[in-house]
Amino acid sequence: MRYDLVVGLETHVELNTKTKIFCNCANKFGSEPNTNCCPICLGHPGTLPKLNEKVVNFAIRAGLALNCEVNLISKMDRKNYVYPDLPKAYQISQFYDPICKNGYIELDSGKKIRINHIHMEEDAAKLVYKGGDTYVDYNRGGVPLLEVVTEPDISSSDEAKEYLEKLQMIMRYIGVSDCKMQEGSIKCDVNVSVKPEGSDKLGIRTEIKNMNSITFMAKAIDYERERHIEIIENGGKIMQQTLRYLPETNSTESMRSKEDAQDYRYFRDPDLVDIVLTKEQINEIRNSLPELPGERFKKYVNEFGISENDAVLLVKYKNVSDYFESAIEGLKNVKTVSNFIIGQIFRSLETEAEKEEFKILTAPNQINELAKLIESGKLNMNLAKKALIKMLESGKPVTEFVSESDMKGISREEMKKMCEEAVKANENAVKDYLSGKEKALKALLGSVMKQTRGRGNAQEIEEILKGIIVK
């Protein structure tokens, strides 16, 4: 029998507010353990939470960017469970009236992954296991989170990867989170099940907790799919349970039986008032949203004529896309700038993190100046690329590395004379070219380019050479 894979994701996005969700403690990664905490986030009796308004605004921004409806009235609820990472023995979250609902992310295929809802909640503390002991770092307790919950619309690990990458990109573009998986600022719980091909009835699901790597998430999904099918084919029954993924063995192991909503005994938090919004507030936030990656991608391909592959690379990192937007101002051919970024500049940045930060010495206006010299015909591409390498190393403008004589170029008469000299001095290369060896022309071209000291236009030189050889 053939089976369909069914996946739903619950993605936790850590917000980059200055303070935590219900108190004034710093929301800062990497501090010494238990230095960013207070009686409120430690759950001391008698303390009262106060909702951070910035968290609400960020939740609205996220909802609008993900095509959601924003609820004018939402509430905070208590999710009850007992574990060392939660000193109050309950987490303040949203269950009955979340802030956003009914959104979607569109994949490249055109398929829409529906978002059931987005809710706000506080993060739990971090457990640290060392030498057989368990330590608790409460710095993370109370850090604001958005949980983005999809419908079970994902049908493959590739779709799951694309969805999560697009979600990550959108959150970065709208400035609500840095989404650094290595720091835990975005992670997801993955619900996996299988069903007979074409069936409308969903199978029993398992949940893989706290995936903080897109690569490992895809491997975990594929492993669980095969495990489910093997159990069913052998006459067994899938047990609803919560799992952890073990990358060293590419397998999953059980943590506990899977809880349902009723196990958490949700009820309205009596310490927090209703969140009441107006349409005017929502529209104001909507109008403040930047151009989203999907919109920029379409603009780069349809208006600028950039290839889809190059457009993907430009919009993948917001800092790169913003740099590109600044560097193309007033240019007729923006492809020159995109080629510089994807070529020389990306080659100078070794890691994905470096591309994400995009901290380079050369300013956008300096790239713009370089591109305009090429566009005006004052500088050929060969010299421009050499100058760019030096610009990236020093942060200095192009005028520091090209002279007035470089920008004057070479007349066609001078170039023709150099080509005639190259043909006379390289008789064997001429014979090889006439016998059908196209590469022989490159030797002649190299000889002429050497004479021009890189100032010649390669295409024009090739054209002149062919005219001289084939009379």
Q: Which CATH architecture has domain 412-469?
A: Orthogonal Bundle (1.10)
Model pLDDT, residue 445? 82
Q: How many CB atoms lie within 10 A of CB 217?
A: 23
pLDDT exceeds cutoff 90 at 458: no
What are the tens digits of pLDDT across the range 105-126? 999 999 999 999 999 999 999 9
Amino acid at 205: R
What are the tens digits of pLDDT across the range 247-305? 999 999 998 776 666 788 999 999 999 999 999 999 999 999 999 999 999 999 999 99
Alpha-carbon distance values, 434 to 128, 418, 431, 438, 469 (Å): 73, 20, 5, 9, 8
Model pLDDT, residue 350? 86
What are the tens digits of pLDDT across the range 325-342? 999 999 999 999 999 999
Rounded mean pLDDT, 301-319:
95
Q: In 250-401, where does DSSP find H-type helix?
A: 279-288, 293-302, 308-316, 318-327, 335-340, 346-347, 352-357, 364-375, 381-394
3-state secondary structure at position 121: strand
Q: For the chain, what is the mean pLDDT?
A: 92
| Confidence band for 92, pLDDT divided at 50, 70 and 90 | very high
What are the tens digits of pLDDT across the range 55-81? 999 999 999 999 999 999 999 999 999
What are the tens digits of pLDDT across the range 148-182? 999 999 999 999 999 999 999 999 999 999 998 88
Rounded mean pLDDT, 33-62:
96
Cα separation, 369 vs 396, in Å, equals 12
Please, which residues have CB within 8 angstroms of residue 184's CB and are 6 or more apart in sequence?
Answer: 14, 140, 212
Model pLDDT, residue 376? 82
Rounded mean pLDDT, 8-12:
98
Model pLDDT, residue 293? 96
Domain with CATH 1.10.10.410 in the chain: 412-469
Model pLDDT, residue 145? 98
From first CA to last CA, the distance across the chain in angstroms is 70
Contact assessment for residue 139 and residue 31, using Cβ atoms and an 8 Å cutoff: yes
What are the tens digits of pLDDT across the range 198-235? 999 999 999 999 999 999 999 999 999 999 999 999 99
Model pLDDT, residue 268? 96
Model pLDDT, residue 301? 96
Model pLDDT, residue 450? 77
Model pLDDT, residue 408? 60
83 or 320, which is more confident? 320
- pTM, two decimals, is 0.85
What are the tens digits of pLDDT across the range 365-403? 999 999 999 888 788 888 899 899 999 999 999 999 987
Model pLDDT, residue 471? 64
